[in-house]
Structures are given as structure tokens and as C-alpha cells.
Amino acid sequence: MTEVKPELHTSLSPALLDLYHLEHAVVVIIDVLRATSTIATALSNGARCVIPVDSVSKCIQLGKQIEGITAGERDGKIAEGLSHGNSPFEYPREFIANKTLVLTTTNGTKLLHMALEKGASRIVTGSFCNLDSVCRFLLAEKRPVILGCAAWKDRVNIEDALFAGAVIHNVKDDFSINCDSSQIAETLYQSGKKDLFEFMKRNRASHFRRLMGFGLEKDIRYCLSLNQADVLPFYEDGKLVVQKSK
């Protein structure tokens, strides 16, 4: 008997998430520049957990209540009232180990909360920093998968689609993929994988240009390199924690 493979779909924007069935599925939240890269990095460096919140005011309030590190940016600057920004380089082990990071981001947090509301069975976060962990988890779970790109204010972006393509490239033999968005994402990754930074530059990726304008080339290069923080952030009870390998 042939084994029935679980389905894999890619949602290129939160505005398209409604088209997919999230119940019983693993949803991978993808916000490569920089939320999900920073989450993997903080957890990899020993943060106790990361609590994603959807506004600066909630971040401030919760930060006080639990004595957590508050972090978030608006327009490329640390948001007023918070102590840290979105750069993964702000969270080395000597700073973040055993602390709780309360992080507010716009696109990634919105998508995570949408996935929760729509009844996703498992929610994890993905970025090039933890590509291998994400792929291992998806292969082990053997459930339907939705690769959810956080995009930018609902506009499709290159970097999140590229990461979806990288995951697909790695796991496709174990899934049934009847999804044009997934095929497009993988084609994109095939075109760019030799040098993701150069690919983003050549294609004038909008968020690439925004961050370059803020002088953040180092952040971009880090966020586009593979498995620098190879843990699996797993969402449970309102927070992201490291999922231990089975």
C-alpha cells in the first residue's frame, strides 16, 4: 500500500491564510527580516522563552509584570518605552541567557495570532537561522504543513518566500505538494540559493533596501545564513520555547 503523504501549502501573505486548512496542521511562521531570525537566536543563546505581543503598550506592560526584556522597533528605531530592538546581535548568550524576551513585531506577531485563532495544531517559527530544525520537525510530525509568510503589511516579500522555498527544497519528497505558491517559492529559492544576499540585492527586495538604508547589512547577512541558531521555537501557552528534539 502506498503511504499517503501529508499536504504542504505555502501562504505567501497573511491575507491569503484563509485559503488553507489550519486545523491538524503545523504552521511555520516565517518573518526572516528579522523577527523569526531574532527569536531563534535569542532562544539558541539560552533565553528562557520569547513572548510575542502585538503592540508596544502590551510589551511595556508585560515587561514590567514579569521583569522581561522588552524589545521592538518602529520605523527602524527602538520603539519608545522599550529597551531593545529587533537585531539578532542584541541577544548574545551573556545577555539573554535565562531571561524572558517580550518582543513586539507587526507582521510576524499578527500572523502567529491569526494561526492561533484559526486553530493551527502546532505553531513554530522558521528562518534561515534554524532551517534544519524546522525541516527535521516537519519530517518527524508527518502532519499537513502550512508555510506562513509574514510578508510586509500583507504585501508578499522575497525573503519569506525564499525561506519557504528552502524548506520545500528540503522536505518535498515527504509531502504531497499541489500548491502553485509552493512551486513558485521553490523556483525562487533555486534561483537565489547560491548567494541569497546577492539575490536579494539584485532583485531590489523592498525590505532589504529598507534595512540597508538603516545601515543593517550585517543583520541581513546573518539572517540569510543557514543554521546559525539551529533550535526550534515552539509556541505553547502564549510563549515560544525551544522544542527539544525527539
Sign of CA dihedral 69, 223, 166, 154: positive
Q: For the sheet containing 8-11, what is the strand order?
A: 8-11, 145-149, 26-30, 122-126, 233-236, 239-242, 49-53, 100-104, 69-74, 77-78
Indicate the residue among 142 and 155 with the shorter CB distance to its own copies.
Answer: 155
- According to DSSP, residue 106 is labeled S
Quick one: which of 28, 69, 124, 177 contacts its own copies (CB under 8 A)?
177
Site string for its own copies, 14-53 (x = CB under 8 A): -xx--x----------------------------------
Sign of CA dihedral 229, 232, 235, 236: negative
Residue 179 lies near its own copies (rule: CB under 8 A): yes
Sign of CA dihedral 89, 108, 230, 177: negative
Indicate the residue among 84 and 110 with the shorter CB distance to its own copies.
Answer: 110
Indicate the residue among 115 and 200 with the shorter CB distance to its own copies.
Answer: 200
What's the N-to-C CA distance of the chain in angstroms?
Answer: 27
- According to DSSP, residue 227 is labeled T
Least separation in angstroms between residue 211's CB and its own copies is: 14
Residue 106 lies near its own copies (rule: CB under 8 A): no
Quick one: which of 150, 181, 216, 223 contacts its own copies (CB under 8 A)?
181
Footprint of its own copies (CB under 8 A): 12-13, 15-16, 19, 152-158, 161, 177-181, 183-184, 187-188, 190-192, 203-207, 209
